[in-house]
Chains A and B, each alone.
Chain A
Amino acid sequence: MKYFQTFLKYRYLLSNLIGRDIKVKYRRSVLGILWSVLNPLLMMVVISTVFSVLFKGGKFGETNIPFHVYYLTGATVYNFISEATSTSMMSVFTAAPLIKKVYIPKYIFPLEKCLFAFVNLLFSLIAVVIVLLASGIKFTFTMLLFPIPLLLALVFSIGLSMLLSALTVFFRDIVHIYGVFLTAWLYATPIIYPITLLEGNKKLMLIMHLNPMYYFVEFFRKVVIYNTLPNWQFTLVTVGVSLLMLVIGILVFRQKQDKFVLYM
């Protein structure tokens, strides 16, 4: 109850900080919005050119989905989690001057970066819509469920960001380690290769099912391009992974936050 009141008290600060980030990114350059749509599209063109040569223009996923659609839907989710967590990581540490001067609930900083990344995600969804239309994918009502996997990915990102931002205060160099980890995570998730590639290999499939990113990416693809609903087990695991990460993040953050000022 007390925590909730504090959160309400500082919600204007939260929206102010997000507003400032949005202003810097989108208002200062007219091309801001255009870039956040063009960037994933150009990336998609590059990757699909490379991979259509490698895989000889094969169809991807469970149905006849063109590679670039398969890639873009996966990359959109991955990019969101990657951006949210890597910008959050430094957020507490860079807020040191503020944290040492006034009382502010410190979780505001990673939370703000995650929400800002979510705003960027919404803009990059424009690219997804354009590609879906251009690729002749038919509209289905299942598509309207797209916010569910994205919101779950947001919950997961907030948890992971709280964990990472707390640890970064004590060990500055995990920023670099996490950068490498993110690249590995991209390749460990079926984003640029079809999941069917792994289906013969039991060990790899097991690892895949331990990879949280897999659930968000596949959930999003299922509703947006496969026109299927995930079964209840899949849904339960995705929800469970998100909430578990959030709880871990909150617990670690809470346990460490009083010591932050001593290390900044």
Chain B
Amino acid sequence: MSNAVEISNVSMRFNMAKEKVDSIKEYLIKFFKRQLLFEEFMALSDINITVQKGEVFGLIGLNGCGKSTLLKIISGIYKPSTGTVKVNGTIAPLIELGAGFDMDLTARENIYLNGSVLGYSKQYIEEKFDEIVDFTELHQFIDVPMKNFSSGMVARVGFAIATITKPDILIVDEILAVGDFLFQEKCEKRINELMSGGTTVIIVSHSIDQIKRLCDRVAWIEKGKIKMIGAAEEVCDLYTSAK
């Protein structure tokens, strides 16, 4: 069995310039005074993870430990400062749902817009349009501008568009917490469906129950470093008991 994702020696360094240097004048002044030292911040250091095909892999850790950053690196949104990520197959990232939604437009228009942002073709969106709307259960709101939607309704539309493809690798960042409990169940069912089709899943969640229920293996990240990788039960139990 080959690997779906290979993360080797990945580090991510962010600039945390206390005062942002974004003009040429400031840049020159700082340059000549030799003050151009960015406060560097290592969001991730030396991460090595291999995710096998068909595996459901979880990432856990406290707020700000670097989980979302790692998912964005895997999805190609960020380039790691050092190290490499090898991905075999297509990715559907459910990281920030509804990217590019224009709230002045109707749900119908936004489905096309957000679909195109995700790289879908017009023809593909047309084919899947009814399926997307069915999943949101928002038929009567489809031609209403989205500024009149509740945040849960917006999330439904975002989730429905993002999960309409059958990707090889699904990346999920805490989005299962959106919507009411009925919709949460529906989302989890959808993800289960995708998983049963042999899709590899990498999932971040603060719900340890959910991680235990869904994942085969889990990595526990602490302050940008891997604290532990192993079977879901084992890692989760240590994580919850380490207070």
Contact = CB atoms under 8 A, between A and B. Distances in A.
Contacts of B95: 101-102
B77 A98 contact: no
B77 A172 contact: no
Interface residues of A, number: 24
A102 B121 contact: no
Given A171-B27, A258-B79, A98 B99 contact: yes
Contact of B15 (A13, A97, A263): A263
Contact of A170 (B22, B77, B79, B100): B22
Which residue among A99, A103, A263 has the maximum number of chain B CB atoms within 10 Å of its CB? A103
A104 interface: yes
Nearest to B99: A101
B78 A263 contact: no
Given A102-B99, A102-B100, A262-B15, A172 B22 contact: yes
A247 interface: no
A4 interface: no
A3 interface: no
B77 A171 contact: no
Contacts of A10: 116, 119
A98 B95 CA distance: 12
Given A12-B122, A13-B119, A102 B27 contact: no
B218 interface: no
B112 A174 contact: no
A103 B93 contact: yes
A170 B17 CA distance: 13
Contact of B24 (A101, A102, A173, A258): A173
Indicate the size class of the contact surface on chain B.
Answer: 20 to 34
A178 B78 CA distance: 29
Contacts of A100: 77
Interface in B103-161: 112-113, 116-122
Nearest to A102: B99
A262 B122 contact: no
Interface in A173-195: 173-174, 177
A200 to B, nearest CB: 38
Contacts of B112: 16
A101 B77 CA distance: 7
A56 interface: no
A22 to B, nearest CB: 14
A101 B175 CA distance: 14
Nearest to B15: A262
Which residue among B14, B25, B122 has the maximum number of chain A CB atoms within 10 Å of its CB? B122
Given A10-B119, A104-B117, A261 B77 contact: yes
B76 interface: yes
Contacts of B46: none
A131 B120 CA distance: 44
Contact of B75 (A20, A103, A173, A174): A103
Contacts of A177: 24
Contact of A174 (B14, B24, B78, B93): B24
A9 interface: yes
A111 to B, nearest CB: 14
A12 B121 contact: yes
A171 B100 contact: no
Contact of A102 (B93, B102, B122): B93
B14 to A, nearest CB: 6
Nearest to A93: B22
Interface of B: 14-15, 22-25, 27, 75-79, 93, 95-96, 99-100, 102, 112-113, 116-122
Q: 4 tightest CB-CB pairs across the interface, nearest first? A: A101-B96, A258-B79, A101-B99, A13-B116
Given A258-B79, A261-B78, 6 more contacts: A20-B102, A101-B96, A101-B99, A102-B95, A103-B77, A173-B25
26 contacts: A9-B119, A9-B121, A10-B119, A12-B122, A16-B113, A98-B99, A98-B100, A100-B77, A101-B96, A102-B75, A102-B100, A102-B117, A103-B77, A103-B93, A104-B117, A104-B119, A170-B22, A173-B22, A173-B23, A173-B24, A174-B24, A258-B79, A261-B78, A262-B14, A263-B15, A263-B22
